[in-house]
Amino acid sequence: MASFLIVEARFYDHLNDMLVAGARAALEAAGHEVDVLTVPGALEVPGAIAVAAESERYDGFVALGVVIRGETYHFEIVAGESARGIMALTMDGLPIGNGILTTENETQAIVRADPAQLNKGAGAAEAAMALLALQERFA
């Protein structure tokens, strides 16, 4: 059994509830312990994971959130920089499943977040578990 931390960017409550439910269900079905940490937005997710990793309390991480395109360039910055931060941590050896959705509209986000549809929260949890297993294989 491993311990996972779900770090969620709590901007769209109803969408995040679905993402967290999917991720939690996947991790718990695999027999893992799960904690959830909430941060204001997607840009804060990599920093929160980095701080939590220093505690050595968690074996893996799941990054969740939703970024919906708006009328300004802010979407590209948030989507790109949150992904870059998560990838940098992953390249440093942290097993992180990236479930930060970047969509054109809320309808797309609902389809991806809903556990009864695409269930991207579970997909991110599965990616984190796969990376942890790979890490253990090559340890």
Percent of the chain with pLDDT over 90: 96
pTM: 0.97
Residue 56: give its domain's CATH number.
Answer: 3.40.50.960
Domain that holds residue 47: 3-137
pLDDT by residue (tens digit) across 17-61? 999 999 999 999 999 999 999 999 999 999 999 999 999 999 999
Instruction: Confirm whether residue 72 is marked as ligand binding.
Output: yes
SS (H, E, C) the chain: CCEEEEEEECCCHHHHHHHHHHHHHHHHHCCCEEEEEEECCHHHHHHHHHHHHHCCCCCEEEEEEEEECCCCCHHHHHHHHHHHHHHHHHHCCCCEEEEEEEECCHHHHHHHHCCCCCCHHHHHHHHHHHHHHHHHHCC
Which pLDDT band holds residue 70 (cuts at 50, 70, 90)? confident
Q: Which of 35, 40, 47, 74 is catalytic?
A: 74
Q: What is the mean pLDDT of the chain?
A: 97
Instruction: Confirm whether residue 84 is marked as ligand binding.
Output: no
Instruction: Confirm whether residue 78 is marked as ligand binding.
Output: no
Predicted confidence (pLDDT) at residue 12 exceeds the cutoff of 90: yes
What domain count does the chain have? 1
Is 32 an annotated catalytic residue? no
Instruction: Confirm whether residue 98 is marked as ligand binding.
Output: yes
